[in-house]
Amino acid sequence: MKEETAARFSVSLPPVLLRGLDRMTAEKGYDNRSLAVADMIRAELIKHRQQRRSGEIAGTVTLVYDHHRRHVQELLTAVQHDHPGLVVATMHVHLDHDNCLEVLVTRGKAKAIKRMADQLIAAKGVKHGHLTVTSSGKDLPA
Ligand code: NI
Protein backbone atom coordinates (compact mmCIF):
# COMPACT_ATOMS: atom_id res chain seq x y z
CA MET A 1 0.00 0.00 0.00
CA LYS A 2 1.23 3.45 -0.88
CA GLU A 3 2.41 5.41 2.11
CA GLU A 4 0.61 8.74 2.37
CA THR A 5 2.64 11.74 3.40
CA ALA A 6 1.37 13.67 6.38
CA ALA A 7 -0.43 16.95 5.82
CA ARG A 8 0.33 19.67 8.34
CA PHE A 9 -2.02 22.32 9.64
CA SER A 10 -1.77 24.67 12.54
CA VAL A 11 -4.44 25.01 15.19
CA SER A 12 -4.88 27.76 17.77
CA LEU A 13 -6.04 26.53 21.16
CA PRO A 14 -6.44 27.94 24.64
CA PRO A 15 -3.31 26.80 26.57
CA VAL A 16 -5.39 24.85 29.06
CA LEU A 17 -6.86 22.81 26.22
CA LEU A 18 -3.44 22.02 24.80
CA ARG A 19 -2.19 20.93 28.24
CA GLY A 20 -5.22 18.69 28.56
CA LEU A 21 -4.53 17.21 25.13
CA ASP A 22 -0.89 16.52 26.00
CA ARG A 23 -1.86 14.92 29.31
CA MET A 24 -4.42 12.69 27.60
CA THR A 25 -1.94 11.84 24.83
CA ALA A 26 0.55 10.63 27.44
CA GLU A 27 -2.06 8.80 29.54
CA LYS A 28 -3.42 6.96 26.52
CA GLY A 29 0.09 5.97 25.44
CA TYR A 30 0.29 7.78 22.10
CA ASP A 31 3.81 8.56 20.89
CA ASN A 32 2.82 12.10 20.00
CA ARG A 33 -0.17 14.41 19.90
CA SER A 34 -0.56 14.07 16.11
CA LEU A 35 -1.50 10.41 16.55
CA ALA A 36 -3.96 11.30 19.30
CA VAL A 37 -5.54 14.08 17.25
CA ALA A 38 -5.78 11.81 14.17
CA ASP A 39 -7.69 9.21 16.23
CA MET A 40 -9.98 11.91 17.60
CA ILE A 41 -10.73 13.15 14.09
CA ARG A 42 -11.43 9.59 12.90
CA ALA A 43 -13.81 9.07 15.81
CA GLU A 44 -15.64 12.32 15.03
CA LEU A 45 -15.87 11.48 11.32
CA ILE A 46 -17.38 8.09 12.17
CA LYS A 47 -19.84 9.70 14.59
CA HIS A 48 -20.75 12.30 12.00
CA ARG A 49 -21.35 9.61 9.39
CA GLN A 50 -23.49 7.65 11.82
CA GLN A 51 -25.55 10.73 12.60
CA ARG A 52 -26.05 11.39 8.89
CA ARG A 53 -27.13 7.79 8.59
CA SER A 54 -25.67 7.23 5.17
CA GLY A 55 -23.29 4.64 3.87
CA GLU A 56 -22.12 1.33 5.25
CA ILE A 57 -20.89 0.93 8.80
CA ALA A 58 -19.76 -1.89 11.06
CA GLY A 59 -20.62 -2.11 14.71
CA THR A 60 -21.30 -4.19 17.77
CA VAL A 61 -24.48 -4.47 19.79
CA THR A 62 -23.86 -5.47 23.40
CA LEU A 63 -26.80 -6.83 25.36
CA VAL A 64 -27.12 -7.95 28.97
CA TYR A 65 -30.26 -9.85 29.90
CA ASP A 66 -31.67 -12.34 32.35
CA HIS A 67 -32.27 -15.57 30.46
CA HIS A 68 -34.95 -16.59 32.96
CA ARG A 69 -37.16 -13.80 31.70
CA ARG A 70 -39.75 -15.43 29.49
CA HIS A 71 -39.27 -15.20 25.74
CA VAL A 72 -36.33 -12.80 25.82
CA GLN A 73 -34.04 -15.11 23.85
CA GLU A 74 -36.78 -15.89 21.30
CA LEU A 75 -37.46 -12.17 20.96
CA LEU A 76 -33.81 -11.35 20.35
CA THR A 77 -33.56 -14.10 17.75
CA ALA A 78 -36.74 -12.91 16.02
CA VAL A 79 -35.44 -9.34 15.78
CA GLN A 80 -32.23 -10.61 14.17
CA HIS A 81 -34.19 -12.72 11.67
CA ASP A 82 -36.20 -9.62 10.77
CA HIS A 83 -32.94 -7.99 9.62
CA PRO A 84 -31.29 -10.67 7.49
CA GLY A 85 -27.64 -10.17 6.64
CA LEU A 86 -26.96 -7.48 9.21
CA VAL A 87 -25.58 -9.75 11.95
CA VAL A 88 -22.37 -11.44 10.84
CA ALA A 89 -21.34 -13.02 14.15
CA THR A 90 -22.58 -13.39 17.72
CA MET A 91 -20.96 -14.30 20.99
CA HIS A 92 -22.84 -15.44 24.07
CA VAL A 93 -21.32 -15.46 27.54
CA HIS A 94 -23.12 -16.82 30.62
CA LEU A 95 -22.11 -14.17 33.14
CA ASP A 96 -23.61 -15.86 36.18
CA HIS A 97 -26.62 -18.00 37.13
CA ASP A 98 -29.08 -15.43 35.75
CA ASN A 99 -27.32 -13.03 33.45
CA CYS A 100 -26.23 -13.43 29.85
CA LEU A 101 -24.00 -11.15 27.81
CA GLU A 102 -24.48 -11.19 24.07
CA VAL A 103 -22.35 -9.37 21.54
CA LEU A 104 -23.57 -9.07 17.96
CA VAL A 105 -21.18 -7.99 15.23
CA THR A 106 -23.06 -6.12 12.54
CA ARG A 107 -22.27 -4.71 9.14
CA GLY A 108 -24.55 -2.88 6.75
CA LYS A 109 -26.41 0.34 6.16
CA ALA A 110 -26.14 2.66 9.15
CA LYS A 111 -29.88 3.28 9.25
CA ALA A 112 -30.75 -0.43 9.28
CA ILE A 113 -28.20 -1.22 11.99
CA LYS A 114 -29.45 1.62 14.17
CA ARG A 115 -33.06 0.44 13.75
CA MET A 116 -32.21 -3.17 14.67
CA ALA A 117 -30.06 -2.10 17.64
CA ASP A 118 -32.87 0.10 18.96
CA GLN A 119 -35.29 -2.84 18.79
CA LEU A 120 -32.86 -5.18 20.56
CA ILE A 121 -31.99 -2.69 23.28
CA ALA A 122 -35.66 -1.86 23.88
CA ALA A 123 -36.68 -5.54 24.02
CA LYS A 124 -38.42 -6.61 27.21
CA GLY A 125 -35.96 -8.39 29.50
CA VAL A 126 -32.86 -6.61 28.21
CA LYS A 127 -31.25 -4.93 31.22
CA HIS A 128 -28.67 -2.96 29.31
CA GLY A 129 -27.82 -2.55 25.68
CA HIS A 130 -25.42 -0.48 23.71
CA LEU A 131 -24.55 0.05 20.07
CA THR A 132 -20.95 0.84 19.27
CA VAL A 133 -20.43 2.04 15.73
CA THR A 134 -17.22 1.94 13.80
CA SER A 135 -16.33 2.27 10.15
CA SER A 136 -16.45 -0.61 7.70
CA GLY A 137 -12.93 0.62 6.94
CA LYS A 138 -13.44 1.08 3.21
CA ASP A 139 -13.85 4.84 3.22
CA LEU A 140 -11.38 5.70 5.96
CA PRO A 141 -7.70 6.28 5.30
CA ALA A 142 -5.24 4.87 7.84
NI1 NI B 1 -26.40 -17.33 28.93
22-49 pLDDT tens trace: 999 999 999 999 999 999 999 888 877 7
Q: Which domains does the chain have, with CATH numbers?
A: 15-52 (1.10.1220), 56-135 (3.30.70.1150)
Residue type, 74: E
Q: For residue 92, how far is its CA from the centre of ligand 1 (angstroms)?
A: 6
Decide: 36 and 105 in contact? Cβ < 8 Å. Answer: no
Is the pLDDT confidence value at 53 over 70?
A: no
Decide: 90 and 102 in contact? Cβ < 8 Å. Answer: yes
Express as a percent the part of the chain with pLDDT over 90: 58
Q: For residue 104, how far is its CA from the centre of ligand 1 (angstroms)?
A: 14
Q: For residue 114, how far is its CA from the centre of ligand 1 (angstroms)?
A: 24
Q: For residue 76, how far is its CA from the centre of ligand 1 (angstroms)?
A: 13
pLDDT mean over 78-91: 91
Q: For residue 81, how far is its CA from the centre of ligand 1 (angstroms)?
A: 19
- Give CA separation, 108 vs 32, 36, 104, in Å: 34, 28, 13
Distance from C-alpha of 126 to C-alpha of 137, rounded to nearest angstrom: 30
